[in-house]
Amino acid sequence: MRKYDHIFFDLDNTLWDFTANSRLAMKQTLEENDILPKSVVFDDFFGIYEQINKSLWSDYHSRKITKQILIVERFSRSLSEFGLSDLDWKEINRLYLENMAIQTGLFPNTLETLGILKSKGYRMHIITNGFKEVQRAKLANCGLEGFFTKVFISEELQTSKPHRQIFEHALKSTNASKKKSIMIGDSWETDIAGALDFGMDQIMFLNGGLHELPEEIKSKQLSANSSCLELKPQIHTYFIDEIPDLITIL
């Protein structure tokens, strides 16, 4: 008898390679619309943009800022570093999201792994903190859509990971129990800690060490020399380096 029936996946940087795809979408947006001066190196801009965007998303998850502030300030603040001002920040964001939606890069063997899990009868779902206008398009354009029964988008639900309300809603909507469900994601703060606090098993996708763990958790994992920790009684936290490693756990 298998341990889980329902598998809940994060999307960005868990299945869909956000790091690579966002870079391609940004380069395309800036070049197509002649936004960056020719004297500016794209890598210099993108490094600053990533730092600002990450900080703003953290504030958004913490409910300190609204979506409108995020989409304006991530461009106004990063582009102002290169002397650009008074641009239509919302339009730049719209063009960027359009280009994001058509990127199709997935982590290696993602489709094959999902196919195996589906053939075993697992019911799979998405819980994502992305914006509604782009997340469903991503799923459709990169061939992921058919694997998932339900898709839960934070903006549509007006709550986001790591808050317990989004996990409660997802389990209730799928008629799933905590004990027979598991969450898979790349972010310790939003995916793993959120599901852990909710009382649900989780799998942290490390991507060969590119996805960071808190130092305290990393030291526990290394000292235990284990791919599984019990950070709360009877709640299991697993660690994988590649998406196909899911097969060894599920």
Active site residue 191: no
Give the pairing of strands 235-240 and 228-232: antiparallel
Q: What is the pLDDT of residue 198?
A: 98
**87-102: average pLDDT:** 96
DSSP 8-state secondary structure symbol assigned to residue 191: I
**135-163: average pLDDT:** 95
Q: How many CB atoms lie within 10 A of CB 222?
A: 10
Measure the CA–CA gap between 1 and 128, rounded to whole angstroms.
Answer: 29
Round the average pLDDT of the chain to a whole number and report it.
95
Ranges 17-21, 48-52, 120-124, 223-227: which has the least confidence? 223-227
| 29 has pLDDT over 90 | yes
| 1 has pLDDT over 80 | no
**235-240: average pLDDT:** 97
Q: What is the pLDDT of residue 6?
A: 98
Q: What is the pLDDT of residue 62?
A: 86
Q: What is the pLDDT of residue 63?
A: 87
DSSP 8-state secondary structure symbol assigned to residue 192: I
Confidence bin at 142 (pLDDT 50/70/90) = very high
Of 5, 12, 197, 241, which residue is the catalytic one?
A: 12
Active site residue 12: yes
| Domains of the chain as residue ranges with CATH | 6-17+106-249 (3.40.50.1000), 19-101 (1.10.150.240)
Of 5, 10, 43, 59, which residue is the catalytic one?
A: 10
| Order of strands, sheet of 123-128, starting from the edge strand that comes earlier in the sequence | 150-153, 123-128, 6-9, 181-185, 201-205, 235-240, 228-232
Confidence bin at 223 (pLDDT 50/70/90) = confident
Global pTM value:
0.94
